[in-house]
Amino acid sequence: MDTYLDINELAKRLRVPVTWIYDRTRKNGTEQIPHYKFGKYVRFLEKEVLEYLKAKSKGGAK
């Protein structure tokens, strides 16, 4: 099974504020960090977030 992270776990791993993560869930298009909503809960698949960050670091998605 894939690893789902909650917002606090993701912020801790990326060493960014929780508010930065929330902001990226509200963006549109390629600026939006991949996430899933389960009712009021937001979760992130670790592998999808890593792919998103790789694309952003290479300038692939702007």
C-alpha torsion 52→14→44→40, nearest 10:
-130
Domain for residue 62, yes or no?
Answer: no
Give the residue numbers spanning the domain of 23.
4-57
Domain for residue 50, yes or no?
Answer: yes
Q: What is the pLDDT of residues 3-59, one digit of tens each?
A: 899 999 999 999 999 999 999 999 998 889 999 999 999 999 999 999 999 988 876
Place of tokens 């890593």: 50
Domain for residue 43, yes or no?
Answer: yes
Domain for residue 31, yes or no?
Answer: yes
Between strands 36-38 and 4-6, the pairing is unpaired
- How many domains does the structure of the chain reveal? 1
Under the banding of pLDDT at 50, 70 and 90, the label for residue 60 is low
